[in-house]
Structure formats: C-alpha cells, structure tokens
Amino acid sequence: MNLYRPEEECGIFGIYNHQEAANLTYLGLYALQHRGQESCGIVSSDGSHLYSHKSMGLVADVFGNQEVFKYLPGRSAIGHVRYSTTGESVIKNVQPILVNYSRGSIAVAHNGNIVNAQMIKDELEAWGSIFQTTMDTEIIVHLLAASKSSSLIEGIVESLQRIKGAYCLLFLTEKMMVAARDPYGFRPLCLGKLGGSYVVASETCALDLIEAEYIRDVEPGEVIVIDEKGVTSYFPLRKVQPSPCIFEFVYFARPDSYVFGKNVYMVRKELGRQLAREHKIDADIVIPVPDSGVPAALGYAEESGLRFELGLIRNHYVGRTFIEPQQSIRHFGVKIKLNPVHEALNGKRVVVIDDSIVRGTTSRKIVKMVRNAGASEVHVRISSPPTSYPCYYGIDTPNRKELISSSHTVDEIRRYITADSLGYLSEEGLLNAVGAPCDNYCRACFSGGYPVTFPKLGPEPQLGLFEKE
C-alpha cells in the first residue's frame, strides 16, 4: 500500500471558448510557473475530442515549440504546472489527467492535497479499481467513473462530497469546463473574462498576462460550470468557515497577484513594516534575500528608516535547486543562485530579510556569505512566524523533524545560522498585517492548528526535500 504523495504546489489555468485556447493556456501557465517547475501539461477540446500534451520540464521547454499547438486544437483548454517531490517525478504523474469513461472523455487538473485520498483509494481498489498514478487527484476520476448519477455535474458533486482537504480543480470535457474550490478555500482560484471567453486561474497574474479582466474569485465551496449557456454557479458542499492559506501571502503567490481579495505585494510590504516594529535593530542597511524577501525588506526599510540596498544578486536563470534532487548538487544551491555585492556590504551592519526559515540551510549560507563580503554585523529578520509544522494542504514543506523551528528555540536557530540576532514576525503581527476580509486564515504551518483532520494518515507523509526558490 503506497501512501499518496500530496499534489503540493501546483498552478491551474483554463479557458473556455477562445480560438487560441491552447496558446493562451500556455501563456497562463507561463505566468503561474512559480507554482510548479517540474512538469506541465495542457488538454484541449475541439467540441468532440480531447487532446493532451504534457511532459516533465518548464512551460517554455514543453510548449516553447509552436508545433505542439497543432496537436492541441479547439476552443477550450485547461493546463497545469506541478512542483513535485523527489522520487515521484515521473511522467505518469504529470497533469492534467485525461481519461475515457462511460460518459466520454474528461480531463482534470488539481492544485491542493486530498487528505483522505488513501482511504478512498483502498476502498476503490477493494471494488476493483486499478490506479495508474500515485496522485491523489486520480481518485476523483475513479469516483466520477463509478458514479451512478444522471449528469456529469451531479457526478462531480458526488465525488467532491467524498473528498476532504485542499483542492482547486478544473475539469474539461468535450463540451464544458468546470471549476471547483474546496469549502475551506485553502488555495486561490479566480474567474476572469476575455471578450466572449471565460478564464479560470490559480492567480490573477495569469489573467493579467493574457489581458483578461478579473471578474471575481471562485468562492470556497463553489462549483462553476462554464458551457455554451454561460456560467452557472452551485454551492453543493457543506458550508464551513473558510480558511485560506496565509502562506500564499508570505511566500508562495506572485507579488503582483491578488489572492483572497488582496494584493500580495502590499501584504508583504506590510509584513516587513510590522516586522520592523516588532524587531528594531541599530544597523546601517537592510537587504532582501531575493526575490521572495524583497517586498518585506522594502517595508522594513520604510518603517525603520534604514537604507535599502541590494546586497545579494540573484541569478534568474537558475531554477529551484530542488529540481536537481541529488544531494551533491543541492549543496551548491545558494551559491549558484545568490552572490553578494561586496561594495554594498563591506563594513556595514546589515539586516537581512527573508520570508521564512524552513530547515535553516539558506539562512546559514546567506549569513556566512554576507559576513564574508565584509559585513560587520548580520541581523536576520523573518517576515513570518517560525515554520514548525508541515503543511498537508498543498504547500511543499518537509516533515516535522526537518523543520528547524519544530525542535529549536529562536536563540538556538540564531546560533545555527550564525547571525548576530534573529527575529521572527509574531503570529499576531502576521494576522494584523494581512488583515481583513478573512479572520480565519489557515496558519497550521505556524500554529499546528489544522482546519481539516487527516483520516488514516498513517506515518507523517515524507514530503520532498527542497532548497530555496
């Protein structure tokens, strides 16, 4: 019995009724590349058949050759980018999943993690289902195929009623596109319009790229059907208090996106300002760990009155070190990506801002790098609370024992990363900075308070090893 690997960190995009559906999906995936760099795929529909192209690799590598679009005809398409974990980086797990069943063909793209996937899989296997992948997403297809309901939508709803956890889903059939978001609304999903076409995407930055107009977010618990009649909305799932993921603001989403109704860049700057209020320090300059630390460092500099400098330069042509799973290569990660600017750092008391510490590897290397470049003091400030608990709802975090703050105090971590001082944003500060409209963000990674429990979880899932994006 294999425990499912969570479908962590993915991005989804879909468009209905556009003559260049697959091409626009390619662009949409391009904008969502930060949500998954390991594999990607597009399924298109010409009204009577579905067509698929998917592969390991970045969006530009898989779809850069315009030839592939000849094989993705039709006016509707959905796409997926996936950030998988070591060991499971296999082509059979690339999405969207496309199957033929009694009603015709259906493709599914999923962002999130179904926490009761194993339980349902065991049940389905006992009834004779044969699974092709190790993705939790596949159970949705099996539930759909097994459904006795009279319509596809009822079948989808029936399947959704069985699954628990985090999901943003896009379904594509010959004739319609369906979007669904779990009742907690863990992951973001938005609806847009481009002329007479409808677009659904994980983040608004994908709408911006194709110049689609943002209409609204897909609501938690909402199922949206898009077909020739237009857009029909249903709320067929049990209502709960939504718990959108606060880590989307801290790290994961792109700063130009609006998620859960807020601009990510503005939120990150406010996290930095709040951090400065909580952890002042006498210093000469503030530098970000690029790119994820930049908005918070700007906020910190603004609030503290300290000068903002770019003390570390990032090589933008290096993917996540995680893409190379071998330990020997991962070791070079930070050096490949970041280089210090000696002129800016030499003789300075430096405040280094990053969004989070996971294992402590990145911060440790950065502190060393900044000191070697001549900094007289290195103070690390983190624009989120200590990450002490793994995420089971779609963010790739290692298991608990690898999270440095699950077993070390702030001062022990400070010593490990060899900083002169270390300050994390408080949970209260984080919540205040993110602010309304939601007062119930999922922050399980910081607090351990998981909104959805995990039936039959078994041993703690061994999520992948990664270094910094």
> Where on the chain is the footprint of ligand AMP (CB under 6 A)?
251, 289, 292, 354-363, 395-397, 466-469
Q: Is the Cβ of residue 144 or residue 358 nearer to ligand AMP in the bound state?
A: 358
Instruction: In whole angstroms, give the CA distance from residue 296 to residue 340.
Output: 19
Q: Is the Cβ of residue 371 or residue 468 nearer to ligand AMP in the bound state?
A: 468
Q: Is the Cβ of residue 140 or residue 294 nearer to ligand AMP in the bound state?
A: 294
300 within 8 A of 381, measured Cβ to Cβ: yes
The minimum distance between CB 387 and ligand AMP, in angstroms, equals 7
The minimum distance between CB 9 and ligand AMP, in angstroms, equals 7
Q: Comparing C-alpha atoms, which of 164, 292, 333 is closest to residue 237?
A: 164
DSSP characters for 347-363? T-EEEEEES--SSSHHH
Q: Is the Cβ of residue 277 or residue 408 nearer to ligand AMP in the bound state?
A: 408
Distance from the first to the final alpha carbon of the chain: 32
The minimum distance between CB 361 and ligand AMP, in angstroms, equals 4
Write the CA distances from 332 to 158, 321, 329, 467, integer angstroms: 48, 8, 6, 10
Enumerate residues 6+ apart whose C-beta is below 8 A from 316: none
Enumerate residues 6+ apart whose C-beta is below 8 A from 326: none
Scored b (16 or more CB within 10 A) or e, 104-119 reads ebbbbbbbbbbbbbbb
For the purposes of burial, counting CB atoms within 10 Å of the CB of 195, is it exposed (0-12), middle (13-18) or buried (19 or more)? Answer: exposed
Q: Is the Cβ of residue 155 or residue 188 nearer to ligand AMP in the bound state?
A: 188
Q: Comparing C-alpha atoms, which of 446, 453, 454, 393 is closest to residue 424?
A: 446
Q: Is the Cβ of residue 104 or residue 325 nearer to ligand AMP in the bound state?
A: 325
3-class DSSP assignment, residue 140:
helix
CA quadruple 107, 111, 116, 118: dihedral sign = positive
**What secondary structure letter does DSSP report for 316?**
T
Instruction: In whole angstroms, give the CA distance from residue 196 to residue 187.
Output: 27
The minimum distance between CB 466 and ligand AMP, in angstroms, equals 5
The minimum distance between CB 348 and ligand AMP, in angstroms, equals 21
Scored b (16 or more CB within 10 A) or e, 139-171 reads bbbbbbbbbeeeebbebbbbbbeebbbbbbbbb
The minimum distance between CB 434 and ligand AMP, in angstroms, equals 17
The minimum distance between CB 404 and ligand AMP, in angstroms, equals 7
Q: Is the Cβ of residue 136 or residue 467 nearer to ligand AMP in the bound state?
A: 467
Give the chain's radius of gyration (CA, Å): 22
The values of phi and psi at residue 155, to 5°, are: -65, -45
Residues forming the active site: 10
